[in-house]
Amino acid sequence: MAEDIKNKDNITAEEKRKIALERAKELRSRIEDYLNVKDEIQTGFERQDVIQQRKKRIMEIMECTGENWQDWKWQITNRITDSETLNKILNINEEQAKVIDKVGKQFRWAISPYYASLMEASEKDPIWLQSIPTNAELTDDCGVDDPMGEELTSPAPGITRRYPDRLIINVTNQCAMYCRHCQRRRNIGETDTHRSKAHLEEALEYIRNNPEIRDVLITGGDALMLADQVLDWLLGELDKIDHVEIKRLGTRTLVTVPQRVTSELCSIIEKYPPIYINTQFNHPREITPEVAKATDMLIKAGAVLGNQAVLLKGVNNDPNVMKKLNHALLKVRIKPYYIFHAKQVTGTSHFITSVDEGMEIMEKLRGHTSGLAIPTYIINAPQGYGKTPVLPQYILENKGDAVKLRTWENREIDYKIKQ
């Protein structure tokens, strides 16, 4: 290998080329396992024939026009919330329907027609797993309702504060879909409720009175479930606060109802830069042409897009799936930002993986693909003590003026530091 040759000046150009070709061959072998399966891990782009057939069926059942389908308000109004409608779309079996009805009495569910068009009627389907109730939700005895201690970190109505210079405004409990792994499922309730303007005013006043707050995340529920005029007002008020440097929107509508991204919404976003949008794609199948259209509009409006995936058993706890997801995200100009270890929320323990699985994913990303495609693996400390990055160990020994490194290929390298 090239690193084993001490004096490279004494070898010919032909020998150098031979070494380079051998190294290239070795590098390709490092990702052979991914190359062998990547075409089997499909994105929504690659499944358009199936998706369009499902979409056509849903539109016929719901007597939906093309104009309706593109209207995000129609998508929300016509969310699927009962096993009977789901059966018409997917031909689910009787046992599945019984489980859905039983679990739905305790844990609310709803799914947009658009997201349903991405689904297969299988309990191993990554779209199904994220959106349809399963019996495991009722047998979970490990989770807690508020693992993040949000109720103990709320110094003002709607505010969650866990860090010195940033905070959350929780503006609604409504989502286009109620994810089965949701960290705030305790807030969903039986009805959709936006926070009152009076409470939002109190939250804004808290921010005005705390000049160290430079970063505000608007979330919920889903921030983009607010009406345009409310978003316009809230972003405008934050924009007037001198010490607020950036605004962020937490939303999964890019995944579940990309029709929410309208020219009107983009006009609002364009008015109040800089705005960062955090979304949550968990599987490559969720990335579709509709998503690409929405991201294109948001980027033209000046938004910066990042993805916060959740590591979910049966959905994406596979290094090759996560790599394909991150590659597909970059193609629609969303930067992979975080991979969150799933939180121990009541009714969700069946999604929780081992930390070793998360570490294996990180090992299979670092060096095996571009840095742009490598998010940070995060475990949220219980009771609101914040995000803790979890990294493979790359420094094996540190003597101050020298370190022993472990490379992404598991080579041990002595590195001397000149001071």
pLDDT digits (tens, 9 = 90+) for 139-149: 888 777 777 76
At 165, list the tokens. 């210079």
Q: How far apart are the first and last CA of the chain?
A: 30
- The answer on 341 and 215 residing in a single domain is yes
Express as a percent the part of the chain with pLDDT over 70: 97
Mean pLDDT for 335-355 is 93
Q: How confident is the model at residue 331 (pLDDT cuts 50, 70, 90)?
A: very high
- The answer on 339 and 261 residing in a single domain is yes
Residue 176 is predicted with a pLDDT of 94
Question: How far does CA 311 lie from the centroid of its chain?
Answer: 9
Range with top average pLDDT, 14-18, 182-186, 207-211: 207-211
Express as a percent the part of the chain with pLDDT over 90: 82
- The number of distinct structural domains making up the chain is 4
Kindly state whether residue 248 falls inside one of the protein's structural domains: yes
What does pLDDT average to over the chain?
93
10 Å Cβ neighbour count for 343? 21
Distance CA 46, CA 48 (A): 6
Distance CA 333, CA 322 (A): 16
Kindly state whether residue 362 falls inside one of the protein's structural domains: yes
- The answer on 401 and 325 residing in a single domain is no
- The answer on 115 and 168 residing in a single domain is no
| Residue 72 phi, psi (nearest 5) | -65, -30
- The answer on 297 and 165 residing in a single domain is yes
Judge contact between 108 and 190, C-beta under 8 A. yes
- The answer on 111 and 180 residing in a single domain is no
- The answer on 234 and 160 residing in a single domain is yes
Residue 4 is predicted with a pLDDT of 57
- The answer on 414 and 266 residing in a single domain is no
**pLDDT tens-digit map of 252-309:** 999 999 999 999 999 999 999 999 999 999 999 999 999 999 999 999 999 999 999 9
Distance CA 127, CA 121 (A): 9
Whichever domain contains 252, its CATH number is 3.20.20.70
Kindly state whether residue 138 falls inside one of the protein's structural domains: no
Kindly state whether residue 255 falls inside one of the protein's structural domains: yes
- The answer on 358 and 255 residing in a single domain is yes
10 Å Cβ neighbour count for 414? 11
Distance CA 297, CA 163 (A): 32
Domain span at 25: 2-30
Residue 188 is predicted with a pLDDT of 80
**pLDDT tens-digit map of 150-196:** 777 899 999 999 999 999 999 999 999 999 898 888 778 677 889 99
**pLDDT tens-digit map of 68-126:** 999 999 999 999 999 999 999 999 999 999 999 999 998 999 999 999 999 998 989 99
Amino acid letter at 274?
P
- The answer on 337 and 312 residing in a single domain is yes
At 304, list the tokens. 């910066």
Kindly state whether residue 145 falls inside one of the protein's structural domains: no
Judge contact between 44 and 51, C-beta under 8 A. yes
- The answer on 330 and 186 residing in a single domain is yes
Residue among 163, 177, 222, 155 at smallest CA distance from 195 = 222
Q: How many CA atoms lie within 13 A of 314 on its CB side?
A: 16
At 34, list the tokens. 């991914």
Kindly state whether residue 139 falls inside one of the protein's structural domains: no
- Does 1 score more than 60 pLDDT? no
- The answer on 110 and 175 residing in a single domain is no
pTM of the model: 0.94
Q: How many CA atoms lie within 13 A of 216 on its CB side?
A: 32
Kindly state whether residue 35 falls inside one of the protein's structural domains: no
Q: CA separation (Å) from 371 to 27, 142, 307, 330, 409?
A: 16, 36, 15, 11, 15
Kindly state whether residue 143 falls inside one of the protein's structural domains: no
